[in-house]
């Protein structure tokens, strides 16, 4: 077993592709995910996040390309990878008619945990705040409780790699915060975590990020670098929240998107247009709209909108 | 190293089996069905499926009207096959009652009844049976074979039969070597096992898929075979419990004997359970939802019941139906179980059938494992 070498690669994929009939779910993606980091897949539903995760844990065979986990082929060495990997499917997949302890003991048996199994289970119960839920059946638990149990089960055998498929989609904000605290603790302890999400705030907390749309990686990097490198200038317009203004602005060919935020409009203008601000001002004035325009920093959502938009243009 | 791997594999297999038992014990409906289905079916079928014909509405035309003819009618009544609903002296009325379906059988005793009894040349009595009712068609022969004017239990049919004298009064006249419950109960073991085994196992495996558990299981080191065998193991035990239950009820309610060795019976039943579980496993690889699994299970169940020789004699079926029946495990199990339970056959004597069950199991397992592999993909 390799130790935690921050520079080492946990996952690498080259031209990884998966088709379902005619539909291309994952379209020739390349990935290099370092060890000991939290790496995020950000993308809308149906963008191929889950399919990629499933290929990485050997549940689905790639149609083309290849991927390695810890240098092991996901096709040939799937069994060896499985022992070093914890997987948390999108849907709660433990047994609802079993209790916390029964579920954990079953998972312990499947992974062949040796030594003080009860001790390890107790440790997980303590870490994931499951002590009071010991003999409660999973089916009667809340979303947050189920999620803690699922994470406890996925990390029971101390995997080096954790694959989490939209782990927080059925969970309240406080539970989400707690959940991410735990992910950082696991990463601190040396685990590599690959997490898919469609929440911007979660994506922003990852060490590295790949934005995925229609099976392709459309942008990749640290959240900070992605935001800094966004191919758009962002403007916030106050006082133009009537129905006319958003439509007028959206019709401009160089505008990637208009989002209404309360009384403000957030406009993504292509970076190639240097005088976007004055053009906007002129447009609004011509239509008799009095508004204040202010330039602002890009958010991850802006990166996402621009990246997915560019991809669409590219395909046409 | 190898033994370590084996131990780990066994641990996973037993973990799956334990989990299955735990889940089963919490699923009140399924748990109730395990015991309830055999009890209900054996009671229902044991009483309801009855090839014996009794209390036929009968019209009697006694033209002789002598003490001997009246004694003959009394004897007819004593068989309980016949219930004299009408007596008439007119053959027109007799024909009308038959035509209207108010009588299923007519007995005509001719004026010269006594004379005919003396001579062998002419029929003594004419019996008319409503042939439109299939189960009654054979009755005429039975009545015709009735030894006229012999005392209860003294007839030529009472000798050599292992039946109680009281039964002879009815059976010797009509259905000497066939007691329905004796035929039905052993066959019911097979039918009930077919029903519950295929239904439960296919449902149990599809349930993991339907509820999303399978996705997690696939990501663990759990092997295909470990998962399948682990899931099926509890149902083997359940099948044996059901078999025991049916035999106990069959013995208490219907006095169905077990002539052969119990060990043979359980060994053969075990083989059949395994074959049926194989079928259940195969069904589970075809179905996406539990509902589909149940539908498919029923699709396999109906031919089993109709073609296996449980309902209709195997020999009377068309050749194509016989081919299909050859593929059904129940067909072979029926031969085995009747042999062991009723004729005291030993395992070597039912070896060909056991071998067919083994082949069936092997083929089913191979298909199921191959198909299950694809499912992961």
User: Does residue B160 sit at the A interface (CB-CB below 8 Å)?
Assistant: no
Above 0.85 for ipTM, yes or no? no
**Interface contacts A/B by beta carbons within 8 Å:** 65
The pLDDT, as a whole number, for residue B164 is 26
CB contact under 8 A, A98 and B23: yes
By C-alpha distance, the chain A residue nearest B222 is: A110
| Mean pLDDT calculated for residue range A1-28 | 82
pLDDT over 90 (residue A165): yes
Chain B residues in contact with A110 by the CB 8 A cut-off are 12, 15, 217, 220-222
B40: nearest Cα among B233, B225, B191, B207: B191
Q: How many CB atoms lie within 10 A of CB B127?
A: 19
Which range is most confident: A64-73, A239-248, A251-260?
A64-73
Half-sphere exposure of A214 (CA within 13 A, CB side): 10
Q: What is the pLDDT of residues A275-303, one digit of tens each?
A: 888 888 888 888 888 888 889 998 898 89
pLDDT band at A311 (very low <50, low <70, confident <90, very high): very low
CB contact under 8 A, A110 and B15: yes
B178: nearest Cα among B280, B49, B83, B273: B49
pLDDT band at B52 (very low <50, low <70, confident <90, very high): low
The values of phi and psi at residue A72, to 5°, are -100, 140
Q: What is the pLDDT of residues B186-199, one digit of tens each?
A: 888 898 898 888 88
Chain B residues in contact with A87 by the CB 8 A cut-off are 216, 219
Whole-angstrom distance, CA of residue B234 vs CA of residue B245:
17
**Least CB-CB distance to B11: which of A58, A82, A109?**
A109
Half-sphere exposure of B237 (CA within 13 A, CB side): 10
| Contact (Cβ atoms closer than 8 angstroms) between residue A124 and residue A156 | yes
Pairing mode, if any, of strands A264-270 and B82-87? unpaired
| Mean pLDDT calculated for residue range B52-72 | 81
Q: Taking phi first (over 0 means left), then psi (-120 to 50 degrees means alpha), and beta for anything else, what does residue B160 get?
A: left
The pLDDT, as a whole number, for residue B102 is 79
B114: nearest Cα among B68, B76, B162: B68
By C-alpha distance, the chain B residue nearest A139 is: B211
CB contact under 8 A, B216 and A89: yes
Q: How many CB atoms lie within 10 A of CB B212?
A: 15
B7: nearest Cα among B213, B208, B226, B162: B226
Residues 8-27 of B with CB under 8 A from A: 8, 11-12, 14-15, 18-19, 22-23, 26-27
Whole-angstrom distance, CA of residue A50 vs CA of residue A163:
10
Residues 6+ apart with CB under 8 A from B39: B245, B249
Report field, pTM of the whole predicted structure over 0.90: no
Q: Which tokens sit at A270? A: 């292509």
Q: Which has more confidence, B348 or B342?
A: B348
Q: What is the pLDDT of residues A46-104, one digit of tens each?
A: 899 999 999 998 888 999 999 999 999 999 888 899 999 999 998 999 999 999 999 99
| Rg (alpha carbons) of chain B, rounded to whole number | 27
Question: How far lies A201's CA from each of A24, A49, A70, A197, A205, in Å?
Answer: 28, 18, 29, 10, 7
**Substitution target from B209, B217, B220 for chain A, most A beta carbons within 10 A:** B220
The pLDDT, as a whole number, for residue B166 is 22
pLDDT band at A7 (very low <50, low <70, confident <90, very high): low
Q: Which has more confidence, A35 or A244?
A: A35
Chain B residues in contact with A170 by the CB 8 A cut-off are none
pLDDT over 90 (residue B276): yes
CB contact under 8 A, A112 and B221: yes
Chain B residues in contact with A194 by the CB 8 A cut-off are none
Which range is most confident: A165-174, B48-57, B236-245?
B236-245
Whole-angstrom distance, CA of residue B332 vs CA of residue B330:
5
> Average pLDDT over chain B, rounded to whole?
78
Torsion sign (Cα): A83, A87, A91, A94: positive
Residues 87-146 of A with CB under 8 A from B: 87, 89, 91-98, 102, 105-107, 109-112
3-state SS class at A270: strand
| Mean pLDDT calculated for residue range A210-224 | 92
Q: Which tokens sit at A251? A: 């019709």
Q: Which tokens sit at B271? A: 């083989």
Give the containing element (helix H, strand E) for A198.
none
Residues 6+ apart with CB under 8 A from B162: none
Which residue has 């243009």 as its token pair? A313
**Least CB-CB distance to A91: which of B8, B14, B212?**
B212
Q: Which tokens sit at B88? A: 């008439």
Chain B residues in contact with A92 by the CB 8 A cut-off are 212
pLDDT band at B146 (very low <50, low <70, confident <90, very high): low
3-state SS class at A280: helix
Q: What is the pLDDT of residues A107-164, one digit of tens each?
A: 999 999 999 999 999 999 999 999 999 999 999 999 899 999 999 999 999 999 999 9
| Rg (alpha carbons) of chain A, rounded to whole number | 23
A56: nearest Cα among A28, A80, A81: A81
pLDDT over 60 (residue A8): yes
Q: Which has more confidence, A316 or A78?
A: A78
pLDDT band at B140 (very low <50, low <70, confident <90, very high): low
Q: What is the pLDDT of residues A167-181, one digit of tens each?
A: 988 788 888 899 999
């Amino acid at each position: 077993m390799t130790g935690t070498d921050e520079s080492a690669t946990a996952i690498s994929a080259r031209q990884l592709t998966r088709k379902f009939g005619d539909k291309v779910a994952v379209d020739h993606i390349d990935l290099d995910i370092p060890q000991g980091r939290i790496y995020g897949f950000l993308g809308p539903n149906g963008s191929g996040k889950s399919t990629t995760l499933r290929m990485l844990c050997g549940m689905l065979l790639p149609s083309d390309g290849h991927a390695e986990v810890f240098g092991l082929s996901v096709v040939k060495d799937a069994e060896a990878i499985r022992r070093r990997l914890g997987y948390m499917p999108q849907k709660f997949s433990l047994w609802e008619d079993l209790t916390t302890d029964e579920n954990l003991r079953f998972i312990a048996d499947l992974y062949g945990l040796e030594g003080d199994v009860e001790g390890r289970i107790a440790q997980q119960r303590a870490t994931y705040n499951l002590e009071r839920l010991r003999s409660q059946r999973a089916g009667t638990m809340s979303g947050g409780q189920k999620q803690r149990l699922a994470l406890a089960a996925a990390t029971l055998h101390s995997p080096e790699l954790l694959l989490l498929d939209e782990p927080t989609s059925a969970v309240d904000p406080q539970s989400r915060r707690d959940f991410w605290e735990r992910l950082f603790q696991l990463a601190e302890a040396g685990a590599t975590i690959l997490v898919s999400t469609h929440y911007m705030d979660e994506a922003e907390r990852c060490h590295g990020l790949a934005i995925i749309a229609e099976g392709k990686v459309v942008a990749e990097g640290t959240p900070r670098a992605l935001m800094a490198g966004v191919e758009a200038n962002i403007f916030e317009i106050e006082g133009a929240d009537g129905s006319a203004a958003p439509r007028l602005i959206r019709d401009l060919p160089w505008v990637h998107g208009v989002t209404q935020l309360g009384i403000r409009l957030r406009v993504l203008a292509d970076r190639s247009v240097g005088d976007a601000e004055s053009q906007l001002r002129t447009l609004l004035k011509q239509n008799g709209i009095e508004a204040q325009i202010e330039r602002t920093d890009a958010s991850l959502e802006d990166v996402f909108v621009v990246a997915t938009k560019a991809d669409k243009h590219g395909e046409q | 190293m190898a033994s370590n791997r084996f131990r780990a594999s066994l641990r996973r297999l037993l973990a799956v089996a334990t989990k299955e038992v735990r889940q089963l014990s919490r699923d009140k409906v399924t748990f109730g069905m395990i015991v309830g289905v055999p009890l209900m079916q054996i009671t229902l079928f044991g009483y309801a499926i009855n090839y014996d014909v009794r209390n036929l509405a009968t019209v009697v035309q006694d033209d002789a009207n002598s003490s001997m003819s009246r004694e003959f009618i009394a004897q007819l009544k004593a068989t309980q096959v016949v219930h004299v609903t009408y007596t008439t002296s007119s053959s027109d009325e007799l024909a009308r009652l038959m035509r209207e379906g108010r009588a299923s059988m007519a007995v005509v005793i001719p004026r010269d009844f006594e004379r005919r009894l003396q001579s062998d040349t002419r029929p003594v009595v004419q019996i008319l049976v409503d042939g439109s009712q299939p189960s009654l068609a054979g009755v005429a022969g039975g009545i015709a074979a009735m030894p006229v004017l012999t005392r209860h239990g003294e007839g030529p049919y009472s000798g050599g039969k292992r039946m109680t004298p009281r039964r002879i009064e009815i059976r010797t006249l009509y259905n000497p070597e066939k007691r329905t419950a004796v035929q039905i109960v052993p066959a019911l073991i097979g039918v009930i096992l077919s029903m519950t085994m295929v239904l439960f196992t296919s449902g149990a495996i599809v349930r993991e898929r339907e509820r999303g558990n399978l996705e997690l299981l696939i990501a663990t080191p759990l092997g295909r075979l470990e998962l399948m065998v682990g899931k099926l193991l509890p149902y083997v035990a359940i099948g044996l419990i059901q078999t025991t239950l049916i035999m106990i009820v069959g013995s208490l309610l219907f006095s169905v004997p077990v002539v052969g060795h119990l060990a043979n019976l359980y060994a053969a039943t075990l083989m059949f359970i395994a074959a049926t579980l194989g079928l259940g496993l195969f069904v589970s690889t075809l179905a996406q939802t539990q509902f589909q699994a149940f539908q498919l299970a029923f699709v396999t169940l109906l031919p089993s019941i109709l073609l296996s020789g449980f309902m209709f004699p195997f020999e009377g079926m068309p050749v194509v139906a016989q081919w299909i029946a050859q593929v059904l495990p129940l067909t072979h199990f029926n031969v085995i179980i009747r042999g062991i339970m009723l004729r005291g056959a030993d395992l070597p004597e039912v070896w060909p059938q056991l071998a067919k069950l083994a082949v069936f199991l092997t083929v089913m397992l191979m298909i199921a494992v191959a198909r299950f592999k694809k499912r992961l993909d």
